């Protein structure tokens, strides 16, 4: 028996196993790769756990979710409810940042099973004298587990169940107060416990809800043509805060190499005075732990972070683990790079793009342990300067094992640290980065443009298991990406993509001022690169240029902040819009977001066509709210302030992209 036991029940010893524990617990969600990786949670945001829980025969069950901060001894207990087909669920709200764990416990509810059977026998007018005695014994047992006051009440119920009059005994046995009392003191002696404690990484609130604004400090000088400083950037903080952003993301702030420095519009040779790409990190002035001298001093940097914090904004830094040929690491640690037979290192490539000014790091170096330690120390250096959010450049080109180790160990020291993966790569690689610990990820949103593409992509992101692995951050543009739609769609298309990114996802960002000024010229036809890109030169921006969409951005960020339904991504459901009876509209797309208690419901309708007025009939899913198809309700357009009374599920919508290509309605049920 011993050999068979070990084979059939791996992970248990014969002393731990009790064959009388009959309840089966399986298919728990979220559970990422058998518990090898943590699911993702957000401080203050509800986490839902589900599992299949069942037992042989027809006995009733009780099930509960156990939750605790990792390392603590006691569990928080949350009762679970059956949702159908032996599926049980419960939710909890983590109140602290850091690693948590959870599991499920379940047992046969003998009292509940007995009570159900008693009711059936009473209805069938059968003799229940013996049944009442069996029930009284179960109540006696509960009294033995109860506090003194409740034990007295339970014994009183047991005595009433043993009364000479069976009818009085039945009344006592089926009393709802007795059911509640016995339920307070369950018999868990033969409870089944799920075989694993599953990990949950709870991140700070900005992991789940944030609005990012990226800009190049080099272009924010008050003197035309002069390199901007961090002191200059402090003047930009009120401007960015006024638009409603809560994360300022800075491209790399380190010294820039001169070897193979890129010139204007990615020219292979820089002209005198051209600043080069800030992603070509490192010079004799320092590397990843140094500040570009033209940006100012480290004191200027910490002052900038503090000024942003006073405005409610977190500063995110770009961490790009690559080196200019002039980086100190190239001389100090030559074995961290892969040298070719001619004595050179192959520059970085992402065909057809070539980065002649960048050397990639070799993660197969024999000195990998020292490499890992040094790279981790880069994050810790900037955390010490007040930065806890990092946008990581091309993490999919570095070892996954490194990220898993580095992020976990950094978050042990700084639980509020967040990491955004800039990885436009294959889906499985992006998912693996999420498993490895990245708090957020860039996404394919930029290249999802039709209604079908957008809805299909949202379904993918919000389905299991991806919703527990990868938090998407939607960007309509980046310094590297000017999509064809923005090149040709004019101001209406910029607003359309803004609305989509900000309302589909709870996390979104933009590269400005290029976006609010509707910059649309590419470096060449068919290219997604910006003409006169800030990556290679200092730009002068007229922030009040006619045609800008700063007011629309500000309005959307306020709408997002004021409506809790928009603080999550997975709480989305799409609505049907028809341009003729039975025919789905190609251009109008609508979707609902709602809080768990339905106290806030937001309906967004977007015209994806930037050229033409589009109209149609939209079906609002009243049945999802327990309402009839004829129910009347109110909607308020949070852009215009206009209010409408809608009668029933079908209502007419029309959007003119030249005026405003979207409605964002707050829904109120009468």
Q: What is the pLDDT of residues 224-247, one digit of tens each?
A: 889 999 999 999 999 999 999 999
194 and 163 share one domain: no
* Residues 198 and 163 reside in one and the same domain: no
**Residue 347 and residue 109: Cα distance in Å, rounded?**
66
Set 393, 485, 516, 534: catalytic member: 393
Stated pTM of the model: 0.94
Do 37 and 98 belong together in one domain? yes
Q: What is the DSSP letter of 477?
A: -
Does residue 297 form part of some domain? no
Residue 347: per-residue pLDDT: 87
91 and 117 co-located in one domain: no
Local confidence band at 9 (pLDDT 50, 70, 90 cut-offs): low
Q: Quickly state the pLDDT bin for 10 (edges 50, 70, 90).
A: low
Beta strand 210-214 with 507-511 is parallel
d(CA 337, CA 321): 12
Contact 378, 352 (CB under 8 A): no
* Confidence at residue 353, expressed as pLDDT on a 0 to 100 scale: 78
Does residue 11 surpass a pLDDT of 80? no
pLDDT at 164: 85
Sequence-ordered list of residues with C-beta below 8 angstroms from that of 364, at least 6 positions apart, any chain: 338
Residue 4 is predicted with a pLDDT of 63
Pairing verdict, β 192-193 and 76-79? unpaired
CATH number, residue 195? 2.60.40.10
Phi, psi of 524 (to 5 degrees): -165, 155
- Considering the domain boundaries, does residue 497 fall inside one? no
Per-state percent for the chain, helix, strand, coil, to nearest 5: 35, 25, 40
Domain span holding position 122: 111-184
Indicate if 155 and 39 belong to the same structural domain. no
Q: At residue 2, does pLDDT exceed 70?
A: no
Q: Is 467 within a domain?
A: no
Domain count, the chain: 4
534 is catalytic: no
φ and ψ of 309, to 5 deg: -60, -40
pLDDT at site 18: 84
3-state secondary structure of 235: coil
Please report, in range form, the residues annotated as the binding site for alpha-maltose 1-phosphate.
262, 322, 357, 394, 535-536
For residue 208, count other CB atoms closer than 10 A to its CB. 21
Q: What average pLDDT does the chain have?
A: 96
Distance, CA of 308 to CA of 217 (rounded, Å): 14
Q: Which pLDDT score is estimated for 382?
A: 98
Q: For residue 350, is it within any domain? A: yes
Between CA 323 and CA 281 the distance in angstroms is: 5
What is the rounded distance in angstroms from the CA atom of residue 576 to the CA atom of residue 407?
Answer: 42
Q: What is the total residue count of the chain? A: 670
Q: Which one of the listed residues 109, 422, 552, 568 is annotated catalytic?
A: 422
pLDDT-derived band of residue 340, with 50, 70 and 90 as boundaries? very high
Compute the average pLDDT of residues 524-545.
96
Asked if residues 158 and 170 have their Cβ atoms less than 8 Å apart, the reply is no
Q: What is the pLDDT of residues 23-75, one digit of tens each?
A: 999 999 999 999 999 999 999 999 999 999 999 999 999 999 999 999 999 99
Say if 580 falls within a structural domain: yes
pLDDT over 60 at 6, yes or no: no
pLDDT of 631 higher than 90: yes
Share of the chain above pLDDT 90, in %: 94
The CA–CA distances, whole Å, from 521 to 6, 483, 610, 640 equal 67, 10, 18, 31
Report the SS3 class of residue 575: strand
Find the mean pLDDT for residues 468-476.
Answer: 98
Question: Do residues 79 and 179 share a domain?
Answer: no
Look at residues 127, 150, 184 and tell me which one is the last residue of a structural domain: 184
Same domain, 76 and 193: yes
**SS3 label, residue 501:** helix
Nearest CA to 318 among 171, 422, 203, 429?
A: 422
Shared-domain flag, residues 198 and 52: yes
Among 309, 339, 360, identify where a domain stops: 360
> What are the pLDDT digits (tens) for 409-426?
999 999 999 999 999 999
**Would residue 422 show up in a list of annotated catalytic residues for this protein?**
yes
| Domain-located, residue 450 | no
């Amino acid at each position: 028996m011993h050999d068979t036991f070990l084979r059939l029940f791996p992970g248990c010893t014969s002393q731990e196993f009790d064959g009388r524990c009959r309840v089966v617990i399986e298919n728990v969600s979220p559970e990422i790769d058998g518990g090898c990786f943590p699911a993702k949670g957000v401080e203050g945001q509800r986490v839902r756990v589900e599992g299949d829980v069942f037992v042989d025969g027809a006995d009733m069950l009780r099930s509960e979710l156990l939750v605790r901060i990792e390392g603590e001894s006691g569990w928080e207990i949350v009762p679970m409810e059956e949702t159908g087909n032996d599926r049980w669920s419960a939710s909890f709200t983590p109140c602290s940042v850091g690693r948590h764990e959870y599991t499920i416990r379940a047992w046969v509810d003998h009292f509940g099973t007995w009570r159900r059977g008693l009711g059936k026998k009473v209805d069938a007018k059968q003799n229940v004298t013996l049944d009442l005695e069996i029930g009284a014994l179960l109540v006696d047992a509960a009294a033995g587990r109860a506090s003194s006051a409740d034990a007295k009440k339970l014994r009183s119920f047991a005595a009433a169940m043993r009364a000479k009059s069976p009818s009085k005994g039945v009344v006592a046995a089926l009393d709802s107060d007795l059911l509640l009392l016995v339920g307070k003191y369950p018999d868990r002696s033969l409870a089944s416990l799920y075989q694993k404690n599953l990990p949950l990484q709870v991140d700070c609130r900005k992991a789940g809800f944030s609005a990012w604004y990226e800009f190049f400090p080099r272009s924010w000088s008050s003197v035309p043509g002069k390199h901007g400083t961090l002191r200059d950037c402090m003047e930009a903080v009120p401007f960015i805060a006024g638009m409603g952003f809560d994360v300022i993301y800075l491209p790399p702030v380190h010294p820039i190499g001169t070897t193979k420095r890129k010139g204007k519009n990615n020219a292979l040779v820089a002209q005198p005075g051209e600043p080069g790409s800030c992603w070509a990190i490192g010079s004799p002035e320092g590397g990843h732990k140094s500040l570009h001298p033209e940006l100012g001093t480290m004191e200027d940097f910490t002052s900038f972070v503090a000024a942003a914090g006073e405005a409610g904004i977190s500063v995110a830094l770009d961490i790009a683990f690559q080196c200019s040929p002039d980086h100190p690491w190239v001389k100090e640690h030559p074995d961290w790079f892969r040298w070719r037979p001619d004595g050179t290192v192959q520059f970085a490539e992402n065909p057809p793009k070539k980065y002649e000014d960048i050397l990639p790091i070799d993660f197969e170096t024999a000195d990998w342990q020292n490499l890992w330690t040094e790279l981790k120390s880069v994050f810790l250096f900037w955390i010490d300067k007040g930065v806890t959010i990092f946008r990581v450049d091309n993490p999919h080109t570095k070892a996954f094992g490194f990220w898993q180790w580095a992020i976990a160990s950094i978050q042990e020291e700084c639980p509020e640290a967040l990491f955004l993966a800039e990885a436009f790569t294959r889906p499985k690689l992006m998912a693996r980065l999420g498993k490895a610990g990245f708090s957020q990820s860039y996404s394919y949103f930029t290249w999802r443009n039709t209604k079908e593409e957008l809805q299909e992509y949202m379904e993918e992101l919000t389905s299991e298991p991806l919703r527990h692995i990868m938090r998407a951050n939607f960007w309509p543009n980046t310094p590297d990406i000017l999509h064809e739609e923005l090149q040709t769609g004019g101001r209406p298309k910029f607003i359309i993509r803004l609305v989509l990114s900000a309302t589909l996802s709870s996390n979104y960002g933009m590269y400005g001022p290029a976006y609010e000024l509707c910059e649309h010229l590419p470096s060449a036809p068919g290219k997604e690169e910006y003409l006169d890109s800030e990556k290679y030169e200092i730009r002068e921006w007229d922030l009040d240029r006619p045609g800008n969409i700063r007011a629309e951005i500000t309005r959307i960020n306020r709408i997002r902040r004021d409506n809790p339904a928009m603080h999550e991504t997975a709480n989305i459901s799409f609505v049907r819009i028809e341009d003729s009876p039975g025919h789905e509209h190609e251009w109008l797309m609508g979707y609902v977001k709602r809080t768990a208690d339905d106290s806030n419901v937001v309906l967004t309708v977007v015209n994806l066509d930037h050229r033409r007025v589009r109209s149609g009939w939209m079906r609002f899913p009243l049945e999802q709210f327990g309402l009839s198809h004829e129910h009347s309700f109110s909607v308020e357009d949070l852009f215009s302030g206009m209010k409408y009374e809608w009668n029933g599920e079908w209502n007419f919508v029309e959007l003119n992209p030249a005026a405003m290509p979207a409605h964002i309605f707050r829904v109120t049920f009468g």
